[in-house]
Chain A
Amino acid sequence: MRVVKLLIWTIIAVGGLYPAYPLVMGDSTVLADPAKYLLEYYGKTATLFLIAVLSLSPLQTLFPKAAIVRNFNRHRRLIGVGAFFFALTHLCFYAVYTGGLSGFFEDIGKPFILSGVTAFAILFVLAVTSANRVIRRLGGKNWKRLHRLVYGAAVLLVFHQALQEKAGAVQTVYFFAPLAVLQILRIGRTYFQPKKA
């Protein structure tokens, strides 16, 4: 469906350009530390995109007849690459925030930073193996196996996001709880499918 594809592209574009608004309007809460604002904004956006893409296959299993789910599922790759793009932007602003590479490497051993960097490395591998040519070369089975790494990235992100929260990981729960429920329901449906009459 072209409309769905257009919609996803629009969300990526609007999501990517949104921070220009408070910056141009001179919002003092943003201009106080603009690099930190952008770092946090793109990190959150990347996480939401990853959660969106991981929600699609469980939704497909649970609602096999829903046309809307089917249409979005066809563009999972675009959403996944979108997540990578926002993660890359997040990483770039982290480097700006720390004041360059020396600051970046100073903290890389800390679990908070290491979990984020590892999740990014996974998304990087998945993004560069997303071209049709690479998929054909790897073969569908290997490609699928490799791309299961995305679940590892999701677990690392739960850790990474929860660590940066202050006084209780409330937002991390809001973000990831729906996905966790969907995944559990999917597993239930796949392994304990009621026998058809």
Chain B
Amino acid sequence: MAMPSLIPQALAGATAGFPVKVNPKFDGSGLDLTSYKYVTSYNNFYEFTTDKGGVKELANQGWKTDPWTIKIGGLVENPFKADVNELVKKLGGIEERIYRFRCVEAWSMVVPWDGFPLRKLIELAKPKSSARFLKFTTFVDPKSAPGQKRRTIDWPYVEALNMAEATNDLAFVATGVYGKPLPNQNGAPIRLVVPWKYGFKSIKSIVKIEFTSKRPVNTWQQLAPEEYGFYANVNPEVDHPRWSQASERIIGGGFSARQPTLLFNGYEKEVGHIYKGVNLRLLY
């Protein structure tokens, strides 16, 4: 059982002191929360290092995430630039949602995120009818992010969703975790959370969202197309070339913690209809 009551409700909200309201649809019933120390010290963030244990230190050596401006543009009626805090205020504050989080590396967490539904931001931008995809771009700053000195990835990191995915009720933009502002290593100050997809789709530290008509190529698909696709939906039936995806290690669960992986990470009811008729074995 998750215990949202443990999260101090009086604590300042994730961004600019907004109170956190728990969304009852995603209150984490039946899930065991991964503790704050693991959520914030076991991170994939190649902008700093490929070593999950090393990100926390490197991301907090002078990398500035406040203030932070995000730019919304492309095929929209209302392109705009906004300070992240101002944006949250404009969208009516934040809510808490407890989601499963499944990494493509076959490990998983349960995280209480604070933020707002992506759909609210889309409504504000007013996409044109020609807009079919959302392209998300993260920051480039090799001086603060030493991992970006490595040229093995074509920085900046980009991710994308199609419109049906982006407007789904589950698609979430997080600005906090455990009722506190997102720590740098978790993608401060604003990140995507799409819990039915492998973690790499949930892009961190977003600086730009563009609406496009053509499907963007996401970073991992570009790097290793035979290993990572566009959809990257959690799917226990489709193996990674190097390991099985049928089960997952539970972070913080000790030596023997492993559990079966669920189709769409357990969110089939919410998102299954998007992929009706799609061959998920080919379009992984």
**Interface status of B60 (Cβ within 8 A of chain A):** no
In the bound complex, do residue A32 and residue B150 qualify as a contact, i.e. CB atoms below 8 Å apart? no
Which one of A31, A103, A167 contacts B46 once the chains associate, using CB atoms below 8 Å? A167
List residues 60-113 of chain A with CB under 8 A from any CB of chain B. Answer: 96-99, 103, 106-107, 110-113
CA A35 – CA B249 in complex, angstroms? Answer: 10
CB contact under 8 A between A36 and B50, given known A106-B244, A167-B150, A168-B150? no
CB contact under 8 A between A28 and B244, given known A33-B107, A167-B223? no
In the bound complex, do residue B42 and residue A32 qualify as a contact, i.e. CB atoms below 8 Å apart? yes
B107 — which chain A residues lie within 8 A by C-beta? 33, 36
Which one of A96, A112, A165, A167 contacts B256 once the chains associate, using CB atoms below 8 Å? A96
Across the two chains, which residue of chain A brings its CB closest to B246? Answer: A106
**Interface status of B79 (Cβ within 8 A of chain A):** no
Q: How many residues of B contact A (CB 8 A)?
A: 29
In the bound complex, do residue B41 and residue A32 qualify as a contact, i.e. CB atoms below 8 Å apart? yes
Q: Could you give 9 example pairs across A and B, Cβ below 8 Å?
A: A27-B53, A29-B42, A32-B52, A33-B107, A34-B255, A107-B244, A110-B241, A112-B242, A167-B50
In the bound complex, do residue B246 and residue A36 qualify as a contact, i.e. CB atoms below 8 Å apart? no
B152 — which chain A residues lie within 8 A by C-beta? 167-168, 170
A163 — which chain B residues lie within 8 A by C-beta? 242
**Interface status of B252 (Cβ within 8 A of chain A):** yes
In the bound complex, do residue B247 and residue A32 qualify as a contact, i.e. CB atoms below 8 Å apart? no
In the bound complex, do residue B243 and residue A167 qualify as a contact, i.e. CB atoms below 8 Å apart? no
**Interface status of B31 (Cβ within 8 A of chain A):** no
Which one of B52, B223, B242, B258 contacts A29 once the chains associate, using CB atoms below 8 Å? B52
In the bound complex, do residue B244 and residue A33 qualify as a contact, i.e. CB atoms below 8 Å apart? no
Which one of A36, A97, A106, A110 contacts B242 once the chains associate, using CB atoms below 8 Å? A110
CB contact under 8 A between A33 and B41, given known A99-B258, A103-B244, A168-B152? no
Instruction: Report A156 CB to chain B, min CB distance, Å.
Output: 15
List residues 246-271 of chain B with CB under 8 A from any CB of chain A. Answer: 246-247, 249, 251-252, 254-256, 258
Interface residues on A, range: 20 to 34
Q: Residues on A close to B: CB < 8 A?
A: 27-36, 96-99, 103, 106-107, 110-113, 163-168, 170
A164 — which chain B residues lie within 8 A by C-beta? 242
In the bound complex, do residue A97 and residue B249 qualify as a contact, i.e. CB atoms below 8 Å apart? yes
B247 — which chain A residues lie within 8 A by C-beta? 99, 103
B38 — which chain A residues lie within 8 A by C-beta? 28, 31-32
**Interface status of B56 (Cβ within 8 A of chain A):** yes
**Interface status of B58 (Cβ within 8 A of chain A):** no
In the bound complex, do residue A166 and residue B46 qualify as a contact, i.e. CB atoms below 8 Å apart? yes
A27 — which chain B residues lie within 8 A by C-beta? 53
**Interface status of B37 (Cβ within 8 A of chain A):** yes
**Interface status of B121 (Cβ within 8 A of chain A):** no
B41 — which chain A residues lie within 8 A by C-beta? 28-29, 32
A96 — which chain B residues lie within 8 A by C-beta? 255-256
Instruction: Report A122 CB to chain B, min CB distance, Å.
Output: 21
Instruction: Report B213 CB to chain A, min CB distance, Å.
Output: 29
A97 — which chain B residues lie within 8 A by C-beta? 249
**Interface status of B153 (Cβ within 8 A of chain A):** yes
Instruction: Report A19 CB to chain B, min CB distance, Å.
Output: 12
CA A166 – CA B50 in complex, angstroms? Answer: 7
